[in-house]
Structure 1
């Protein structure tokens, strides 16, 4: 499965019925509106197959290995042209620019951020491919227009450029950014919090890498992709934002099981009060953790 499609699948589902209001939270094991879910999956399948075949057109050739650095992606972000809007959201401890790219004018606001752990590059590579896709003009123009008229997308590629420089999890202060959501000691964490607050994103995608050593339950299969709607409190209660995230995960899981059967997992839902996913969920953004890279 191409890294491009991992990000496009949720965007497709979010573009459906963009005028609908969010529904009420549902119990964790309940699947909301299964007939509609199946219909959407069937609608996506032809596009999914076509994108899979055309993926080579959009794959960014300059970053193929895992140990690329900020200096490798900065020119790719800086070269983006309208309808993209790009600005420096701030700088890391060591003075590297952290960029915010925006595209679309739809009613649903979506925030995607990658590589808050410097040694987890897969999603950053996927975002570069997505930028190439939206910058192109070809037979997928109607699909692009559908997405961009339904969604307003905000991207923070490589939130931890100092960690990426050394291919390490933590930043230059040896702080795990994903444990700094409350204290906000690091400038990188401050940037993510500020962007979330300024955009008031309805949806958030926390993009990480998952070790190939993770399995799917007790099966012999490697977990190629894992999803989680993070808990927002110790009791793992389901509020509106978490319930919405759970429903979307149902759709994502159903579709991906058709293409990588037995290799889609649920990530550990232990509440972590310092983590961004858990707190962004609490702040009202329907947040989904996507762990990939074990493909």
Structure 2
């Protein structure tokens, strides 16, 4: 199967970028609602509808949910790309629809999505509410899980640009986790199914983004939804969509999430999962916090008349301004930065730093500065 071509043919062109609200996906859901597949299953804190889209008649039941965190939209885009596959009338689509029943909640947290926050409108992280179920969105997710009785759960998220693959200097474009079901992080039959499926997806993705797949930390937290569902005995897979080189809108990453989804269902439909791939799973390097968006090296700075050579790093803050996500770079670290990487790196080779506030970088200041008075940086980037 040509996954690249499949993505190109089925990419949902009407949605892109990082800011994805209910306004953008409701028309898509209505368009896809060709046979009463769409249901409103609850309301958010602020009264926004929470939709379920269920399609297929197969015996393998797949439960997928996205934007539990409102500012994590990459997997939502990829999910709609996949739903387009299921609705394209192809032989492959027919095979999937006959083999699986897909139950999707494409936007669990519409309030957080509109506000572009991780939390819901009550400032609660829904991924820490799986036991107390204090929030309406958490209750909707649990009720759907209990009524649908899935065979597999797909917990779809984004991760920050700070994550790299171990110490390789490559970004973690996608990371996976088969969550633990107990404090000892043991592997039972349920967790092994998730592990085997992740190993299969990784094998496919390495052909496209070699060395850019990470494994998320598996510390057990029963308050997290993935750990809870694994504890309940349903194989659960955490997807974390991360950074691809220069892809801050996550349109490239979206493609690899799509590929992961399609390849996982292809493997399941062929019953082509090796019985024990724990070693393959553990050989996926762990995520490591090693990246900044910008690193500037060998900068000559002046503190009260004393010059020295140092490095500093900046990070984007994603700020919602007048309905658009603005990436604004702020200085976050000054010093050796040993073992760290930048998605953008610049070697100043001893050039002198100067900004409107002085001759040395200051934490939390915007990354606007000059080097030797003639090389200009605006919002972190070289301004030619």
Do they fold alike, i.e. is TM over 0.5? yes
The correspondence for 2:100, drawn from 143, 151, 165, is 151
Q: 1:253 to 1:55 in 2, by over 3 A?
A: closer
Separation in 1, partners of 2:85, 2:151: 23
Separation in 1, partners of 2:80, 2:159: 19
Runs (5+) with no aligned partner, structure 2: 245-384
Are 1:110 and 1:201, in contact at CA under 8 Å, matched by a contact in 2? yes
Is the counterpart of residue 278 in structure 1 residue 227 in structure 2? yes
Is the counterpart of residue 242 in structure 1 residue 194 in structure 2? no
Match of 2:112, SS state, is: helix
Is the counterpart of residue 208 in structure 1 residue 157 in structure 2? yes
Matches within 5 A, 1:1-295: 47=1, 49=2, 51-83=3-35, 85-137=37-89, 141-295=90-244
Count how many residue pairs are aligned between Structure 1 and Structure 2: 244
> Could you say which structure has the larger radius of gyration?
2
Runs (5+) with no aligned partner, structure 1: 1-46
CA-CA distance at 1:243 after TM superposition: 1.1
User: What residue is the counterpart of 1:37 in the other structure?
Assistant: none
Match of 1:289, SS state, is: strand
Separation in 1, partners of 2:35, 2:203: 32
Are 2:175 and 2:242, in contact at CA under 8 Å, matched by a contact in 1? no
Separation in 1, partners of 2:238, 2:209: 19
CA-CA distance at 1:84 after TM superposition: 6.1
CA-CA distance at 1:132 after TM superposition: 2.0
Separation in 2, partners of 1:119, 1:230: 22
More strand by share: 2
Separation in 2, partners of 1:63, 1:114: 15
Separation in 1, partners of 2:236, 2:222: 15
TM-score, normalisation: structure 2:
0.62
Using CA pairs under 8 Å that are at least 6 residues apart, name the structure with larger relative contact order, 1 or 2. Answer: 1
Separation in 2, partners of 1:86, 1:293: 29
Separation in 2, partners of 1:131, 1:250: 24
Separation in 2, partners of 1:225, 1:195: 27
After superposing the two structures, state which structure 1 stretch, 192-201 or 121-130, moved more. Answer: 121-130
More helix by share: 1
CA-CA distance at 1:292 after TM superposition: 1.0
CA-CA distance at 1:261 after TM superposition: 0.7
Q: 1:84 to 1:111 in 2, by over 3 A?
A: farther
Separation in 1, partners of 2:20, 2:220: 32
Q: 1:227 to 1:74 in 2, by over 3 A?
A: same
Separation in 2, partners of 1:258, 1:84: 38
